[in-house]
Amino acid sequence: MTDADLLVVGAGPAGLATAVYAARAGLSTVVLEARPSPIDKACGEGLMPAAVASLRELGVHPGGQAIRGIRYTDGHRSVDAAFRRGAGLGVRRTTLQGALLDAARLAGVKVVDSSAAQVSQDGAGVSVDGRRARYLAAADGLHSPIRRGLGLQRPPSGTPPRWGDASALCGGPWTDLVEVHWGLRSEAYVTPVGPHLVGVAILSGQQAPFSAQLAAFPALRERLPQVGTTSVRGAGPLLQRTSARVAGRILLVGDAAGYVDALTGRVSRSRSPAPARWWTPWWPMTPAPTNGDGSRASRRYRAATCLLLWARRQPLLAARIVPLSSRLPRVFGAAVQQLAN
């Protein structure tokens, strides 16, 4: 006897989107989440046009600020690239999570309070904290306990770790672009998320207070207010390696499936929510559920991210990224289009 066809652990955007897809495919779906909503975390809070289109397919239209493209700047030079296939969206993560939660409930998904402390599976199904289902989607985040419990966590690669810090700050956006302020050891991402609000996220190989990290970008610091409207939230180390995305009847989704870096926007092994066609009766007898297009896209993003991270670790190259991009605007624009779609 099962309580549902599918259990989803984690009510973040990846988990909720997976739940909506599954419910629309006719599967009875239950989301397990112990944290009260809205759920916040360190996040760049910018959605690429492809993500906006995917949300539209789900009937999810969160409020936010339209994003026309991306700008790279080092304080002296800058280069802009507009999206060619629609606008992106800057939106507070709490707003996005709330909109997806509404969509999930509207689709008939049940959301229950559970920490998912006990997870087990057999040939007929999965059990989580006494609840039983045919399948489980683990969307429990960057440091997924389920991933570790399944033995799918790979050891660090020796690559220097990176961390992220983020806060939302009062003040009207001065551009409709996501600005990436490039420093020698870190980047600051500024995203308009509302008519009077900008989100600021800093990625760095050094752990330091947000104010100290921001001091590395004096031109940006002068444009920002002194006080944030949200507390600073941190995440990391960002690189998380996995040996597989599937173990029996359990599928890792979103950040739990493995993470490279937030440098290029789409960075986990399974960033998009699981397509409904993955949830089939014969799934446990098939290889990892990756269709060809999704697998190729995932490899492309991972390759682009790894290449840029490698350049970031070379001092001479890191200092030349913005100057080279400004001299080759068409190349920079083409790279942005690849990431946007």
* pLDDT tens readout for residues 98-147: 999 999 999 999 999 998 999 999 999 999 999 999 999 999 999 999 99
pLDDT at 297: 55
- Is the pLDDT higher at 199 or at 172? 199
pLDDT at 148: 95
Q: Which residues contact 277 (CB under 8 A, 6 or more apart)?
A: 25, 291
Task: Name residue, tokens 């409904």.
Answer: 276
SS3 29: strand
Paired tokens of 120: 């087990």
Q: Please state the φ and ψ torsions of residue 201, each to the nearest 5 degrees.
A: -125, 135
Q: Is the pTM for the entire model greater than 0.85?
A: yes
pLDDT at 284: 35
Identify the H or E element spanning 6: strand 4-9
Provide, rounded to the nearest whole percent, the portion of the chain with pLDDT above 70: 88
pLDDT at 160: 86
DSSP label at residue 25: T
pLDDT at 227: 63
CA distance 43 to 189: 10
pLDDT at 310: 79
Mean pLDDT of 175-204: 93
Q: Which residues contact 311 (CB under 8 A, 6 or more apart)?
A: 317, 318, 321
ω into 329 cis (within 30 of 0): no
* pLDDT tens readout for residues 242-277: 999 999 999 999 999 998 888 876 544 444 444 443
CA distance 168 to 199: 4
- Is the pLDDT higher at 71 or at 337? 71
* pLDDT tens readout for residues 38-60: 898 888 899 999 889 989 999 99
- Residue 313 pLDDT exceeds 60: yes
Helical segments of the chain, H only: 13-24, 49-57, 93-106, 145-149, 210-214, 218-223, 292-312, 315-327, 329-340
DSSP label at residue 313: T
Mean pLDDT of 144-160: 91
How far is CA 115 from each of CA 135, 175, 193, 253, 324, rounded to the nearest angstrom?
17, 41, 31, 17, 48
CA dihedral sign of residues 229, 254, 24, 135: negative
Alpha-carbon dihedral angle through residues 193, 331, 264, 220, given to the nearest 10 degrees = -50
Q: Which residues contact 234 (CB under 8 A, 6 or more apart)?
A: 42, 163, 164, 165, 166
From 13-22, 83-92, 137-146, 274-283, the region with the lowest mean pLDDT:
274-283
Mean pLDDT of 230-237: 87
CA distance 135 to 149: 16
pLDDT at 249: 93
Mean pLDDT of 199-214: 91
Q: Please state the φ and ψ torsions of residue 16, each to the nearest 5 degrees.
A: -70, -40
pLDDT at 298: 63
Paired tokens of 261: 């870096």
pLDDT at 311: 80
Alpha-carbon dihedral angle through residues 32, 299, 88, 170, given to the nearest 10 degrees = 70
Tell me the pLDDT band of 75, cut-offs 50, 70 and 90. Answer: confident
From 26-35, 168-177, 187-196, the region with the lowest mean pLDDT:
168-177
Mean of pLDDT over the chain: 85
From 95-99, 120-124, 224-228, the region with the lowest mean pLDDT:
224-228
Contact between residue 139 and residue 256 where contact means Cβ atoms under 8 Å apart: yes
